[in-house]
Structure 1
């Protein structure tokens, strides 16, 4: 008789709860129903409060319960993962600290206050190899899976519209003890008045509970399209703000790319029925209890020609289901209920909703001192034993090494976004920032200057400034704009100054003369030209030699693996032609190649997609699509993105090169820095370009 074997029970995840308020208590109430998690620790800024909660729930712990400060718990070897149950404004900092300590993170909704912080937390978790999950609990209940399947299967025909609301009424009397919804009274509401109406704590309904209906409609619209979620292509909104600028109630209308529309409502001074209705071409699906999830929530399906069908979904509490899905994902793929990409999309939509009604918290404004997302000092990578960091180059006349991946500062809409992107770039090893008097009407320079001052790293970075954009491309305009750029940035010099455009009606020597004056005055260290032809650079250098002056130290034109039929902006020049490349090779003049990713051609371009007019006009052609195919092959071989291969191509030229890119997301920076790790042979470079079959 064969031996009977029993499959071992999976080890339970040792969980720490960070925070000791009502959210932590609600979560822990369902811990006994979890198959995969065990309570190991409770942490709080006030360890005394952690002990109070521990006394209440100590019976849930196997062994002695660890209590202490947040950091004591986060760094404990007895803890595998943490559940963050604190106020929104602390989510990002605590998650970053937990990730740095190697802990998996289940973070209460909303994941962070805004999309910028969400990007940073997701990037940190993915880079550290730990699991990060947003605890948006209704998504983990079987009711949600059933609704998605009903939509996917066409049970009510084609989905036309989704209506979702989650709101409650907080009395204005701070002594009141109840929060009222149509069918639910939540006792002991003391303290919520302060938090929910405090802009410094990210108060209001949109973040507190509006994240639920937004998550719902994105998921249902996605199910209608056969994907996990969709992002709205348009969003309009209305609402009412408190005197402190916190949203008391808000309504938004969303439209998705598949034609589905949605209405979402939220508020902390508004009563709603707190249901969800999905309207299809042949019926409706109504969720009577989508958010609170009673022991047996009900869904009513009404279809043309059929009697209404009511379905119940008895199941363990959604928090327990959420715990188990999180624990299982630690050793496997992301939980299918909520991916990091889904959480990022939700955060971006919440940002749009807030922006549409004018909600911007004080700590997000451009006049605020914005710390790193972790609130820890910015980490600047140390130099290698030889003195330079990996992936750096040198420019004669500058005493600092320059990262060969250069960050363009023309895509950051505000200081909050810029700070996160700049911090991330520096943490990866970058130290060269390219800006211009022309960018964002001066706002780009102000943001860069404020960030550098806040971080105190002016001596650690290299700043490229540009002036003389058409039509103000004269020596006099350059002098005026240089002074303005210095004032905007709050600095006394720029490391590199480039003429943004050329004006061939003016002899090149006149530009050389004025740039030498500013270099002699210490306002710039070295200078060069952007969008200058090699012929005009040669003319400028000839004048400099003949008159005992400094010439151009670099050129910054378009150069990339995708060769352009046109360039995005008037007055721009490229150096992709064979003659220019020979000239650069002979002179060994450093090239700062702007748009080194070719407007992300190697990720986005598709012959069937003509939606981006600029990309089509500049780069669509059989030769470039063949280069894209070859870049994709090398990308698979190297385990990187095709854009990283395109940037590596720029860095593997027979003349000194630096690759400029303008990121809008943190993952774009990670992909860019992979380029310095790629070693391409001369044969591969030629093959990418198409010189070899």
Structure 2
């Protein structure tokens, strides 16, 4: 391929600009258009000499067209992520207008899909690829204005109010932050990260603004703080004119881009100026470029595709740059109190194709006393802060065959149960899934505290009972029979199904079983301790108990006890080091699982992984599932890609000898 063949979805004004840019780009050419409007499709096709058979009424048809290499998506915001995933799964390279998704979780799914399909993906911030940005970086790095201390970036305009326009309509994810807020955010992050050659993430995001009559943010101001001490003022608006500049202040002087965002946008030339002030003396650099602005973007993207790259090189918007940018936009909108329709309680927004095709389905087993067969892998729900974040992961989980969810009364101070409950209600999923509810965590681990916590959990989860209820901690100062009797009362009231204990010793668990049998009460039948191929050497949290000890494993085998292992993947102990080290130091895998024996287990897992063509991480998951007692594994993926990377473990059927060998038993 010597030239990239592009198709465009959505023939609006931005699409016109991208098409004009392609006309000037030697490495790319426009060959296809897709629009559901026959009139707009015809007008755009005629304007750009697109062949009749390459004018598509159906978006999927363009994505499936063999003569199209790459797709530029220029439809309204709510459709960016869905169509980008459609194109990526069809094997196309993708450029998508900003914001690439309605939140960082959606953008993460796009980045993961691009990696899975080995295709180029770019969030289209065209201004980053104009030569003035490269020149700005050179000036800052030269030290002429000294060390950077502060950044100010604004992008605002005053559009007449029209409740049905994409700028003001909540149904189209209108508002200033999503429409143009990404520009000042990306500029601030770019400048703050110049020394490292990346987009720095702020450690603090503060904001204020105006929510207008239609319910979207019309004006927004923000303050960012970065770990290197740099601060930034950012602002955006769709209902207020702003100066629309980037100003960089250093210890020796300052630098200003008077027209950073759209120099020569429609036709060109894209001439611009940079003002540099040092010692109260200002000089101007005039950058003359006969090309129009979008030519630089179209050419850079086409060159990256021809070079086999999957993301835009710096200073273009990288994959992690896009995820980080949308994370900041999420935080900024939260400061203003503006939720998109996708984040409203009870809204059903399902993003298809987050998982690649052909993955194994999560197997399910029948469990006595539980109405639905349970997936052997159980989704941990202690890390999703909003319904939109949760939906991305949990919809993909259901698509993969998973139907078991684990939560706890203390997670997020109750927020995580509430978020899961909103998803359950919006999907009408309560009859199809099994939710494991946990309560009575220290310091409130008393029989009398259980029912009040359970009632609160059920209300948050939108459930009328807990099919499985687990005591989150043990309190050995309380006679075990009191816990058994408390759970029997809740079962009599129809509030719980089966029950068990988390972080209970096998001795205490056995005592509870004996007490229940002696008194004709429901016995605990599920133990929820840590069980992973790596043996926990330091408790991840106070009061944690591991079941990977010879006496505990023997108890589980001899009594055929159902075991649900938390941290079944040892907090990523079997992942490559760069992934392992992302957790806080006090709960990092090496901190909690570091030992010579575990190092040997990891080496054996890698050896077996090479044999089966999977990862050591998959071997560790398969080891938990291969136990000779009923073993379920709790996992905590934060994105669809992390689900996808776990599922290959399901195709492994480790032998008893392999299970023992991995655990150094032979």
**TM-score (norm: length of structure 1):** 0.83
Name 2:267's counterpart in structure 1: none
Q: Does the residue aligned with 1:54 lie in a helix, a strand or coil?
A: helix
What do residues 153-197 of structure 1 show as CA deviations (whole Å, max 9, x unaligned)? 54544322222222222245x6xxxxxxxxxxxxxxxx9x83322
User: Does residue 1:354 correspond to 2:333, yes or no?
Assistant: yes
Kept in 2, the 8 Å contact 1:47–1:69? The answer is: no
Alpha-carbon distance, 1:299 to partner: 2.7
Deviations 1:242-274 (A, max 9, x none): 233422322222222222222222112333332
Cα drift, residue 240 of structure 1: 2.6
How many Å separate the matches in 2 of 1:357 and 1:109?
20
**Residue 610 of structure 2 corresponds to residue 619 of structure 1:** no
Candidates 325, 328, 339, aligned match of 2:318 = 339
The Cα offsets for residues 412-434 of structure 1, whole Å up to 9 and x where unpaired, read as 11212111121122233322101
Taking a change above 3 Å as real, the CA distance of residues 615 and 127 of structure 1, as seen in their structure-2 partners, is: closer
Asked if 1 retains the 8 angstrom alpha-carbon contact of 2:153 and 2:184, the reply is yes
Describe the superposition over 1:492-549 as per-residue Cα deviations: whole angstroms up to 9, x where unpaired.
Answer: 4433222222233444344445545655776544322112111111112223444455
Match of 2:167 among 187, 196, 203: 196
Answer yes or no: is 1:418 the counterpart of 2:390.
yes
Of 88-97 and 309-318, deviating more is 309-318
What is the CA distance between 1:349 and its match in structure 2?
A: 0.9
- Alpha-carbon distance in 2 for matches of 1:549, 1:609: 45
The correspondence of residues 289-368 of structure 1 with structure 2, limited to 5 A, is: 289-294=259-264, 295-302=270-277, 308=283, 310-314=285-289, 316-330=291-305, 332-333=308-309, 334-336=311-313, 337-366=316-345, 368=346
How do 1:155-554 and structure 2 match up within 5 A? 155-171=144-160, 194-224=165-195, 226-294=196-264, 295-302=270-277, 308=283, 310-314=285-289, 316-330=291-305, 332-333=308-309, 334-336=311-313, 337-366=316-345, 368-374=346-352, 389-390=361-362, 392-393=364-365, 395-398=367-370, 400-516=372-488, 523-554=495-526
Shift of 1:117: 1.9
**8 Å contact from structure 1 (residues 466, 497) kept in 2:** yes
Give the TM-score of the pair, scaled to structure 2.
Answer: 0.86
> Aligned partners of 1:96, 1:636: CA distance in 2, in Å?
30
Distance (Å, rounded) in 1 between the aligned partners of 2:582 and 2:60: 50
Cα offset, 1:556, TM superposition: 0.2
For 2:358 and 2:428, how far apart are their aligned partners in 1?
Answer: 16
Aligned partners of 1:303 and 1:684: how far apart in 2? Answer: 69
* Cα distance change, pair 651–157 in 1 and its aligned pair in 2 (3 A): farther
| Greater CA drift, 208-217 or 576-585 | 576-585
1:553-572 alignment runs, 5 A limit: 553-564=525-536, 566-572=538-544
**1:331-383 CA-partner distances (Å, limit 9, x unpaired):** 511221222221111111111111122222244122x3222124x9x999999
Q: Quote the Cα distance in structure 2 between the aligned partners of 1:353 and 1:117.
A: 17
2: CA distance between counterparts of 1:281 and 1:472? 54
Secondary structure of the structure 2 residue equivalent to 1:82: strand
Specify every segment of 5 or more residues in structure 2 that has no aligned partner in the other structure, as ranges: 265-269
1:644-655 matched pairs, under 5 angstroms: 644=618, 646-653=620-627, 655=629
How far residue 650 of structure 1 moved from its aligned partner, in angstroms, is: 3.8
Question: CA 1:142/1:515 → structure 2, altered by over 3 Å: closer, same or farther?
Answer: same
CA gap of 1:379–1:37, structure 2 versus 1, over 3 A, is closer
Q: Give the Å deviation of 1:108.
A: 0.8
Mapped partners of 1:653, 1:623: distance in 2: 23
| 8 Å Cα contact 1:15-1:38 kept in structure 2 | yes
Q: How many residues align?
A: 655
1:585 partnered with 2:585: no
Q: Is residue 631–residue 645 contact of structure 1 (8 Å, CA) maintained in 2?
A: no
SS in 2 for 1:107: strand
Query: Could you tell me how far apart the structure 2 residues matched to 1:243 and 1:105 are?
Result: 35
Secondary structure (helix, strand or coil) at the match of 2:165 reads helix
Structure 1: any 5+ residue segments left out of the alignment? 1-9, 175-190
Aligned to 2:641: 667
Q: What is the alpha-carbon distance in structure 1 between the residues aligned to residue 98 and residue 359 of structure 2?
A: 39
Is 1:657 aligned with 2:648? no
